[in-house]
Chain A
Amino acid sequence: MRGYDLDPYLPGRSLVHRLDPRLKLLLLVGFANVALWPSSRPLHRLALTSALCLGATALAGIAPGRLAARLAALIGLAGAAALGTLFGADPAEGAARVGSVAVVAWAALLVSASTPIGCLLSALAGLGAPPSLVSMLAIAHHLTFATADEAIRTVRAIRVRAPKRSIAGDARIVGLAMRSLAARCALRAERLQWALLARGFAGRIPTAPLQRPGWRDIGLSAAAAAALLLGHRWTR
């Protein structure tokens, strides 16, 4: 699992890839607000936001199927939720709102697929996120890969030691293995702490400062924001 399932970034040189990451995050927040805001025409809003999202995906040069793979679990959830809304006051509106959750999730995936983690961390720092929060994200992101490797080995060991598939036996082995995994994570944290202190770390991960957004970035962002605002007004 090392790196390949856990790294969402799909390299590219599109306008979306090169857009200032701070503007990308702000546009994502704006998009989510518009998509999820109560509307008198939810289906129109869903259609508009879906079109904007697909357009941005095309502009990024990313095949929709690659993002859809990460949404596979969401599709099941969304389907169940949509079925549930059949029992609600307005099934069409309920289903449209479930759809809007999926569209916002898609937009978030697009941001993560078009922005390296280092740039995202710099963007968060640039937008005023607390240094300890940015540091925690950076360290946790790094540790996730090693933890995932260890977890895979733990699962293999569980399967070897629990072939009989009795519920009680399996539960005990899973519990003990997960407890051990947690302890190893804590011990790894201790070693990482020594390593960070040895390199002068005092609580703030150094992030690369971002350049001032260029006119292309500002123009593209303004166009996207205008489309969102107009769409919001039209479907209010």
Chain B
Amino acid sequence: MDALGASLHADGLSVTYLGGRTALRDVSLRVEAGERVAIVGANGAGKSTLLLRLAGLLRGAGRVLVDGREISSMSQPELRALLGIVFQDPDDQIVMPVTLDDVAFGPLCLGVSRAEALSAARRALEAVGMSAAADEAPYRLSYGQRKRVAIAGALAMGARALLLDEPSAGLDPRSRRGLIALLRDLPASLVVATHDLDLARQLCCRAILLSAGEVAADGPTHTVLDDAALLEAHGL
């Protein structure tokens, strides 16, 4: 949880689904160690596909480097311990019947001993403010709480770069503020795909505007998001 963020470089990423739809076209981006970058764009712009491609969960053209190493040259345990992804719906991610067991799931899958995995899980739950829910069934937690548990699941694996898909979706204002505060305190590099432009402004120093699978703009958050004409032209 205390490790410094990892750098993330992507060159020429392209993804075409089997149905023929091209979701990403030649997308390149750089995230420096500890940096927080927002990926904004309209529905169908390719934000989620980009995150899956960056995480190595989708194959396609181009390459992704984490801390200078190509992810295709890493073993799965190495990659998963370095690069975590948190999906929009926590129910797509939380699997185990007890919260602590779910957060420990990732480290256990990587071959860590049960004692170490549980210890990492407890630290991760503490980092996201959910220690009290360790013995609860996840389905009894609120939506915002399950989001935090999902983040803890990635942190427990030691992720130094976190990819987050619409982290504030479905959260009430208070939960949203809590989430922003939590993410701001994390040392990991963050790539946040979001419609929530306010979250992007509050959390991220840089924003990348994705439109129809291509990078339409890449710059300081306030520069990109204050350009109303640019946003309008790309469906936001």
Interface residues of B in 147-184 (CB under 8 A from A): 153-154, 157
Instruction: Identify which of A2, A116, A198 contacts B97 (C-beta below 8 A).
Output: A116
**Are A138 and B95 neighbours in the complex by a CB distance under 8 Å?**
yes
Instruction: Identify which of A141, A192, A205 contacts B92 (C-beta below 8 A).
Output: A192
Q: A3-B139, A198-B55 are in contact. Are A142 and B96 (CB under 8 A)?
A: yes
Instruction: Identify which of B57, B92, B96 contacts A188 (C-beta below 8 A).
Output: B92
**Are A200 and B137 neighbours in the complex by a CB distance under 8 Å?**
no
Binary interface profile of B, 61-94, with partner A (CB < 8 Å = 1, else 0)?
Answer: 0000000000000001100100011010101111
A-side interface size class: 20 to 34
Interface residues of A in 26-85 (CB under 8 A from B): none
**Are A146 and B140 neighbours in the complex by a CB distance under 8 Å?**
no
Task: Report the minimal beta-carbon distance from B168 to chain A, rounded to whole angstroms.
Answer: 18
**Are B108 and A194 neighbours in the complex by a CB distance under 8 Å?**
no
B114 within 8 A of A: yes
Interface residues of A in 114-167 (CB under 8 A from B): 116-118, 138-139, 141-142, 145-146
**Are B101 and A194 neighbours in the complex by a CB distance under 8 Å?**
no
Cα-based distance from A116 to B96 in the complex (angstroms) = 12
Cα-based distance from A7 to B137 in the complex (angstroms) = 10
**Are A200 and B157 neighbours in the complex by a CB distance under 8 Å?**
yes
A196 within 8 A of B: yes
B89 partner residues in chain A, CB cutoff 8 A:
191
Q: A145-B139, A200-B106 are in contact. Are A192 and B95 (CB under 8 A)?
A: yes
Q: Is the interface of B mostly helix, strand, loop or mixed?
A: helix
Q: Closest B residue to A7 by CB, please name it.
A: B137
Cα-based distance from A227 to B133 in the complex (angstroms) = 41
**Are A196 and B108 neighbours in the complex by a CB distance under 8 Å?**
no
A198 partner residues in chain B, CB cutoff 8 A:
55, 57, 80, 84-85, 154
**Are A138 and B96 neighbours in the complex by a CB distance under 8 Å?**
yes
Cα-based distance from A200 to B97 in the complex (angstroms) = 18
**Are A118 and B109 neighbours in the complex by a CB distance under 8 Å?**
no
A183 within 8 A of B: no
A222 within 8 A of B: no
A208 within 8 A of B: yes
Q: A146-B91, A208-B114 are in contact. Are A202 and B139 (CB under 8 A)?
A: no
Binary interface profile of B, 95-117, with partner A (CB < 8 Å = 1, else 0)?
Answer: 11110010011101110001001
**Are B106 and A118 neighbours in the complex by a CB distance under 8 Å?**
no
B1 within 8 A of A: no
B52 within 8 A of A: yes
Task: Report the minimal beta-carbon distance from A11 to chain B, rounded to whole angstroms.
Answer: 11
A197 within 8 A of B: yes
A208 partner residues in chain B, CB cutoff 8 A:
101, 114
| Interface residue ranges, A against B (CB under 8 Å) | 2-3, 7, 116-118, 138-139, 141-142, 145-146, 188, 191-192, 194-202, 205-206, 208-209
Query: Can you report 21 A-B residue pairs in the complex whose CB atoms are below 8 A from each other?
Result: A3-B137, A3-B140, A7-B137, A116-B97, A142-B97, A192-B92, A192-B93, A194-B52, A194-B55, A194-B57, A194-B85, A194-B87, A196-B95, A199-B105, A199-B157, A200-B80, A200-B157, A201-B109, A206-B108, A208-B114, A209-B114
Q: Give 11 A-B pairs besides A192-B95, A198-B154, A202-B109 with Cβ atoms closer than 8 angstroms.
A: A7-B139, A139-B95, A142-B96, A145-B91, A191-B87, A194-B52, A195-B92, A198-B57, A199-B109, A200-B110, A206-B105
